[in-house]
Amino acid sequence: MLIGAALAVMKISVGLMANSAAVVSDGVESASDVLASGIVLFGLALAAKPADEEHPYGHGRFETISGLAVGVMLGMTGAVICFRAAWSINDQHVPAAFAIWALVVSMLAKLALGAAKFRIGRKIKSEALVADGWNDTVDILSASAALVAVALAVWRPQRFAAADHYGAFAVGLIVIFLGIRVVYNTAQQLVDRMPPRELLEDIRRVALNVPGALGIEKCLARKTGLRYHVDLHLEVDPDMTVRRSHEIAHDVRNRIIAELSWVADVLVHVEPHTLATIESGPRWRTGK
């Protein structure tokens, strides 16, 4: 956030001194990055709170909501940038060449920030942090668009006098597109989109390694913040006692949580395994 604030002040100041609408627009986008990172930080802090009586599944959805807020804010910022660029399109001018250096410094800094957020966000499975990483990525794209616009206007001022404004408009379109993408991805988490198939296969594999687990009828999972809650329909020998089937279900739950760090909790429902297939060993059905 400190780096983003410094970049925003630098680009807005340089853009005003160099009379460049594209650089000022890119600075405004960087200023929105600071607010976006603040929202993500707040969401992660709330998501880290433990479960309580009113929130038995924890507070993880605050992290997802913060990612959604980042996407909405990006779309609004992009719309404002586009409107401002279109409004002043007839105010043609030639920006100063030194504006280019502010954009180059911003691109290098955002490259490092975006890479760090992507790496950590994917490691801890944080939609909000990944969304903030995309926020930095779009800053690189917007700075590139501004860089091309300023370079054209400086190179051929008579022919490309309006390039600076078109560059600012392009920055706004890029920001709007990214905002839509972030909103879509985070909204999918809020409507309980299933995790990738390979993660479900990992759950099944760990569950069927527990002695007494003969099959899996259903395996469902939904993301709550940084981790998943799993609903598992486990098949066991129908002739065993209730106590023994409960012990197996308990072992399955503990094994999954111990081996898969991205699983927060598992609810195991015991089903009778069909007698005809008991001798064939553990199995799972993928059609239910």
DSSP string, 65-127: HHHHHHHHHHHHHHHHHHHHHHHTTT------TTHHHHHHHHHHHHHHHHHHHHHHHHHTT-H
Q: Over 80: is that where the pLDDT of 18 sits? A: yes
Cβ(254)–Cβ(189) below 8 Å: no
Cβ(224)–Cβ(57) below 8 Å: yes
Residues whose CB falls within 8 Å of the CB of residue 104, separated by 6 or more in sequence, listed in order? 147
What's the mean pLDDT in 249-278? 86
Could you tell me the pLDDT band of residue 278, with boundaries at 50, 70 and 90? very low
Q: For CATH 1.20.1510.10, list the domain ranges present in the chain.
A: 2-190
Q: Provide the pLDDT for residue 69.
A: 85
Q: For CATH 3.30.70.1350, list the domain ranges present in the chain.
A: 197-284
* Residues forming a β-bridge with 230: 221, 266
- Of residues 9, 58, 61, the one with CA closest to residue 31: 9
pLDDT by residue (tens digit) across 199-244? Answer: 899 999 999 999 999 999 889 998 887 788 999 999 999 888 999 9
Q: Looking at the domain 2-190, which fold is it?
A: Alpha-lytic protease prodomain-like (1.20.1510)
Of 64-73, 208-217, 244-253, which range is least confident? 64-73
Q: Which two tokens stand for residue 202?
A: 């990992």
55 or 235, which is more confident: 235
> Which homologous superfamily does the CATH classification assign to the domain defined by 197-284?
Cation efflux protein, cytoplasmic domain (3.30.70.1350)
The torsion region of residue 192 among left (phi > 0), alpha (psi -120 to 50) and beta comes to left
pTM of the model: 0.64
Q: Provide the pLDDT for residue 287.
A: 42
Q: Provide the pLDDT for residue 288.
A: 42
